């Protein structure tokens, strides 16, 4: 079975991708699995640029086809911030919980109807030859008043899906993957990976 390198050191993302890509015909491996230590600085101004930077760097370093993503939270009341800066929002080296609290503070006093937001994810699949294919997924929601739920990571505890009345962190894993931005982008990536298998 050909190997697909998941170009991330984030354990939460690895777990999600392994579930989302299960049965795709590729053996998903992590940088640690192949003895690779690589930290790619996300200097791009867009999700696509950052995902591409990571996928190409990991593909070149490993000789494997690599899949990377970049994702973020876009809050309308914050003019689309933090966006591509989501992992660094409110300062470097903060915990997820600290970023969540900083965002709730910034949105204090903002009415529910004005707390609209979306998660966006772009996946890049790169070959060691530098060819890159991109997919994108989004999910619309609102920022809750308080964190709720223990599933997921990052901003999931405050990302409310109004039609369900639940935050992303309150959803069972299977349902989260069906509705999430990463799930949508991964389903599109599956089509690309299946085609790559046929073309081998």
Instruction: Supply the residues annotated as catalytic.
Output: 70
d(CA 100, CA 128): 37
Cβ-in-10-Å burial (0-12, 13-18, 19+) of 92 comes to exposed
- Across the chain, the runs of DSSP E, i.e. the strands, are 3-6, 27-29, 65-75, 116-126, 132-143, 159-161, 166-167
Q: How many residues does the chain have?
A: 200
SS3 70: strand
């Amino acid at each position: 079975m050909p190997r697909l390198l998941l170009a991330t050191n984030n354990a939460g993302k690895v777990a999600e991708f392994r579930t989302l890509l299960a049965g795709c015909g590729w053996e998903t491996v992590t940088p640690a699995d192949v003895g690779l230590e690589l930290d790619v600085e996300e200097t791009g101004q867009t999700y696509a640029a950052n995902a591409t930077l990571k996928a190409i760097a990991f593909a070149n370093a490993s000789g494997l086809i690599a899949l990377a993503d970049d994702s973020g939270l876009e809050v309308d009341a914050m003019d689309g911030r933090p966006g591509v800066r989501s992992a660094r929002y409110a300062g470097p080296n903060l915990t997820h919980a600290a970023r969540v609290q900083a965002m709730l503070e910034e949105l204090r006093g903002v009415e529910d109807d004005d707390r609209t937001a979306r998660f966006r994810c772009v996946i890049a699949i790169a070959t060691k030859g530098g060819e890159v294919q991109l997919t994108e997924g989004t999910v619309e929601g609102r920022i809750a008043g308080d964190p709720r739920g223990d599933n997921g990571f990052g901003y999931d505890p405050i990302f409310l899906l109004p039609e369900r009345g639940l935050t992303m962190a309150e959803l069972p894993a299977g349902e989260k993957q069906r509705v999430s931005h990463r799930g949508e982008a991964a389903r599109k990536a599956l089509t690309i990976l299946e085609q790559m298998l046929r073309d081998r």
